[in-house]
Amino acid sequence: MQSIVSYKNRGNFGDSKYRGNCTGYIIKDLINNYYPTSKPKKFVEIFSGGGTGKDVAIELNITNSLHLDLNNGWDALIDEIPSGADFIFSHPPYWDIISYETQRNSYSENDLSNNMPYEKFIEKLNIVNEKIYHSLLYGGRHAMLIGDVRKNGKYYSIIKDMTWYGDLESHIIKIQYNCLSDNKTYSSNNFIPIKHEHLLVFKKNKLWIVNEKITNTIQVNIMEVTNITWRDLIQATIQYLKNKATIEEIYNILVKSKKAENNNHVREKIRQTLNNNSNFKKINNEWVLCIE
Ligand SMILES: C[S@@+](CC[C@H](N)C(=O)[O-])C[C@H]1O[C@@H](n2cnc3c(N)ncnc32)[C@H](O)[C@@H]1O
């Protein structure tokens, strides 16, 4: 196995019509890669969907495996993850991109594919991933397949936003074929369609301590930042003032910045920066951005 994988056909594993299914080859390759001589002691599949992992277990002659999904009455948010697994494969919904309620023909409030705010989805995914990690045997692995999502023009990187439990052992890119978006035409020609998924392999290397990697989005006002140049502050100010500003106007804004604190020569600094940088140009009495 290498860090980029590509499977043009999904093979004869599970229900080929199950929406959002994955190829069995990826599970098979993972097991063969990590357990080349002896099979996993116990293989658990979370979000087993159309039975892909079960057919892989049969083909590899793994008898100690469990394949769990809402569609066979098991709820990842409420029910316990079976204990004693040294290999867990999970393939959660990619937020609400495919509705599994429709596929099952029954509603579950814990279905991770329900229409919900993205932050809520990440919260629920974290709950499941933490449970999965704790259930692993020491030395065990959790391999998780998940894609990125673009919705209403915004890009969501699920792997970046979710918490990582344990040590990342591998990050594999899987080329994606037959996406829902393949038949779409896009009005913007600088749009880059998503053609890959991520396969992350986490390993439990410690018994008592869990390494958790958490993404935290904060909003920083550049007026409060000191690690910024006068040039960049002035550029932002001129853009804010619709690309035409007198020194006085720039000064009136930037004098309130953190950068200006403890500087008794702010006006001089602004004048010097404007004169010394070729990306600022004076036209009559006003400064404009000049990007050449
Ligand atoms: C991307 S699909 C998995 C597809 C599977 N790998 C296959 O090849 O068929 C995601 C699955 O997550 C299941 N699911 C969503 N929320 C769940 C929950 N709370 N507990 C268990 N399964 C859930 C859905 O029923 C769906 O089958």
What CATH number was assigned to the domain covering residues 222-289?
1.10.10.10
Q: How remote is the CA of residue 98 from the centroid of ligand 1, in Å?
A: 10
% of the chain at pLDDT higher than 90 = 92
Which residues form the pocket of ligand 1, taking CB atoms under 6 Å from any ligand atom?
14, 18, 20-22, 47-50, 52, 69-71, 74-77, 91-93, 100, 110-113
Residue 145 tokens read as 């397949």
Tell me what the mean pLDDT of segment 103-127 comes to.
97
pLDDT at 292: 76
Asked whether 168 and 202 are in contact (CB, 8 A), the reply is yes
Q: List the chain domain ranges.
A: 4-213, 222-289
Question: Which architecture characterizes domain 4-213 according to CATH?
Answer: 3-Layer(aba) Sandwich (3.40)
46-55, 184-193, 236-245 — which is least confidently predicted? 184-193
Angle 210-214-216 from CA coordinates, rounded to 5°: 160
Reported confidence tier of residue 291, pLDDT bands at 50, 70, 90? confident
Report pLDDT digits (tens) over 131-150.
Answer: 999 999 999 999 999 999 99
Distance CA 66, CA 152 (A): 37
Reported confidence tier of residue 169, pLDDT bands at 50, 70, 90? very high
Asked whether 43 and 57 are in contact (CB, 8 A), the reply is yes
Tell me what the mean pLDDT of segment 258-266 comes to.
95
Asked whether 120 and 156 are in contact (CB, 8 A), the reply is no
Reported confidence tier of residue 184, pLDDT bands at 50, 70, 90? low
pLDDT at 191: 83
Q: Which of 72, 61, 68 is nearest to 32 (CA)?
A: 61
Ligand 1 atom index nearest CA of 103? 25
User: Of 16, 95, 113, which is best to mutate to test ligand 1, by the most ligand atoms within 8 angstroms of its C-beta?
Assistant: 113
Q: Round the average pLDDT of the chain to a whole number and report it.
A: 95
Indicate the pTM of the whole model: 0.92
Q: What are phi and psi of 164, to 5 degrees?
A: -100, 130
